[in-house]
Structure 1
Amino acid sequence: MRLLIVEDEQNIRDLLKLYLKKHFDITEADNGRDGLRLSLEQDFDFIILDMFMPEMDGLEVWRNLRIQKDTPILILTAQYSEELEEAGKEADTHYILKPFSPKNVAAHILQTLSLTGS
């Protein structure tokens, strides 16, 4: 299975990879623009998307991606917003507030994929 991590903080990407590398072939992007480009050019089974990033924020990436694909997304954010709640109501979009447990993130992703049959 293929996973895209779109997160500008290297230490968070490294932590997530540590918990997810045995389940996924992982691709990384450190800004929103590259994350959107990768997610549109390639097929991923799941995307982890940070909310506040350089070049393009997570909501903008999410909105543009949803026009063309319905890949399950987990949004990571340090701040709750109404827009985020709207995104959470969309099919296959969930969010987790930072700080987070990488073990819980991994469990959430694997459970989501097992429910969707991916």
Structure 2
Amino acid sequence: MHLLVVEDNPSLLNTIVQFLSDEFEVDQANNGEDALYLAMKNIHDAIILDVMIPEIDGFEVLRKMRKEGIRIPVLFLTARDSLEDRVKGLDSGGDDYLVKPFQAAELKARIRALLRRSGSLTTDQTIRYRGIELSGKEREIIVEGEPIKLTAKQYELLEYLIQNKGAILTKEQIYDRIWGFESDTTIAIVEVFMHYLRKKLEPFGYHADIKTIRSVGYMLNDE
């Protein structure tokens, strides 16, 4: 699971990223402009968003996201604890609201609840597409009742495609999601891994479900 944490206090940001990193892949931003830029890539499973951040406040970041159709679940994390602020946060499209100070265990629990509700994290850690079943807990894959072996990146690539079936994913989105902004590989790696993933699925006929959108990216057929 891939999270974005937005917080302008360097110490708190570092603390949050550290305790989330043992369970999630975490990107970070410390101002509204950077937060909006990363959010618009639409590569995250959830966003933890402070309200009082420089340049653009958290409410406005979320408003712009929702206007552009970005439906990533958002948890507001803020010291503003008035009822008016809570209502404003939820009415602006936020999915949850946690007031500082907070306990790390509660933040993680709320993130997992957001992911379950959004479908990014199911209660049994399993996602399905036609005759394909991915077990997130064991990172196993069953195709038409037969277990097959995928590398870690191939698994993440197939998982990302299934989670976004019917939607076009650009090569940039896939690269940022699977390899990350700081990877020392190039975007060409996406085509290489897509080729090998199709090869693994070809005996079952599912390779044809992954469509190449010329000069843009890829799309997994909607069921």
TM-score, length of structure 1 as denominator length: 0.89
Equivalent residue letter for 1:114: R
Q: Does structure 1 residue 5 correspond to structure 2 residue 5? A: yes
Conserved? CA contact 1:31–1:53, under 8 Å = yes
Q: Does structure 1 residue 76 correspond to structure 2 residue 77? A: yes
Q: Distance in 2 between matches of 1:45 and 1:60?
A: 20
Residues 75 and 115 of structure 1: is their aligned pair in 2 closer, same or farther, counting only changes over 3 Å? same
Residues 32 and 91 of structure 1: is their aligned pair in 2 closer, same or farther, counting only changes over 3 Å? closer
Q: Distance in 2 between matches of 1:56 and 1:42?
A: 19
Instruction: Please give the residue correspondences for 1:42-61 in structure 2 after superposition, counting only pairs within 5 Å.
Output: 42-61=42-61
Q: Which position in structure 2 is the counterpart of 1:109?
A: 111
| Secondary structure of the corresponding residue to residue 33 of structure 2 | helix
Equivalent residue letter for 1:112: L
Equivalent residue letter for 2:3: L
Q: Distance in 1 between matches of 2:114 and 2:51?
A: 20
Conserved? CA contact 2:76–2:94, under 8 Å = no
Q: Which position in structure 2 is the counterpart of 1:36?
A: 36
Identity of aligned residues (%): 36
RMSD between superposed Cα atoms in Å: 1.7
How many equivalent residue pairs? 118
Gaps of 5+ in 1: none
Q: Which position in structure 1 is the counterpart of 2:99?
A: 97
Conserved? CA contact 1:19–1:103, under 8 Å = no
Q: Distance in 2 between matches of 1:53 and 1:86?
A: 16
Q: Which has the higher contact order (CA 8 A, sep 6+)?
A: 1
| Secondary structure of the corresponding residue to residue 40 of structure 2 | helix
Indicate the structure (1 or 2) with the bigger Cα radius of gyration. 2
Q: Indicate the structure with greater helix content.
A: 1
Equivalent residue letter for 2:97: Y
Runs (4+) of structure 1 exceeding 4 A deviation are 89-92
Gaps of 5+ in 2: 121-223
| Secondary structure of the corresponding residue to residue 41 of structure 1 | coil
Conserved? CA contact 1:71–1:92, under 8 Å = no
